[in-house]
Amino acid sequence: MSTKVYRPADMNETFAAIRNSGDVGALLALYEEDAHLLVDANGSGFAGKAAIAGELERLVRMPGTMTSQNTFCVEHGDLALLRADFAIVDEEGLALYSGFTAEIVRRQADGTWLYVVDHAGASRYGS
């Protein structure tokens, strides 16, 4: 599985696949050094990879399998705005956690894309 994203529209699917593999380091590699991860509607969150790492570890420890589907991807030069619907489901397909995200990603010098802002603020438990 590639952990590099060369098309911003592939960011969310790649994130979910890496999360399901349990590789926190590979998830963290999807973020710029000073990225922001927002985790609720109030804008609470984490700034910088060191702070984001703990939240990603928590996400990987959650039971279930994650899926994430883009609803749109708007590119403008080296920036892209994404929105995705995601769910973490149990073995029977019941949603344990679901919601949607809004993200800003930036093209890097090597042509890959990384998160600048990742906001999963409208999530909910249960179905």
Q: What is the pLDDT of residues 83-115, one digit of tens each?
A: 999 999 999 989 888 889 999 999 999 999 999
Confidence (pLDDT) at 127: 45
Report the distance separating Cα 79 and Cα 17, nearest Å: 23
Write the CA distances from 23 to 8, 80, 122, integer angstroms: 20, 25, 24
Residue 107 exposure: Cα atoms within 13 Å on the Cβ side: 14
Q: Where are the domains of the chain?
A: 8-125
Residues 52-71 have pLDDT tens digits of: 999 999 999 999 999 999 99
Predicted TM-score (pTM) of this structure: 0.90
The CATH class of 8-125 is alpha beta
Answer whether residue 1 shows pLDDT above 70. no
Q: Among all chains, which residue has been given the structure tokens 């990742």?
A: 118
